[in-house]
Amino acid sequence: MPKFFTAEEANAALADVRPLVERMVEHRRAMLAAEAEEEALGARIAGNGGAIEPGEPARVAQAQAAEGEAIAQIVDELAEIGVQVKDLDTGLVDFPARHKGEVVLLCWRLGEPEVAWWHGVEDGFAGRRPLPLEDA
């Protein structure tokens, strides 16, 4: 059964959630950089393979895998808290909540000072509305 948050509980959880999301976004950027490096390396190999260190493909693959594992671990840690990851690139997460007997999502994105938005489960980010829920 999912954990449900009030707006106050979601904001209190940001003390733990914010550093995890910051790390997740950093690892995602590093993973994208490793993917770009792998793509460029593949193009060089397809060309003539010149000037490529023997261990370079393995190093790039290992870096990419390590970043993916780090992201997965952080997503798991956030899930243990009860937070749903929606966007790895922007650090968008949702906190499940209840409003008028329905499940809704309290929405927060890295860089925002507090959890100040909510939306229906099917509405997504585009359907965000300002808190409090009582006024909805």
pLDDT tens digits for 70-110? 999 999 999 999 999 999 999 999 999 999 999 999 999 99
pLDDT band at 129 (very low <50, low <70, confident <90, very high): very high
Q: How far apart are CA 33 and CA 49, in angstroms?
A: 21
* Average pLDDT over every residue of 100-127: 94
pLDDT band at 134 (very low <50, low <70, confident <90, very high): low
pLDDT for the residue 50: 64
pLDDT band at 48 (very low <50, low <70, confident <90, very high): confident
**pTM (two decimals):** 0.88
If you write DSSP's letter for every residue of 4-62 in order, what string do you get?
Answer: ---HHHHHHHHHHHHHHHHHHHHHHHHHHHHHHHHHHHHHHHHHT-TT--TTHHHHHHH
State the amino acid at position 97 in one-letter form.
A
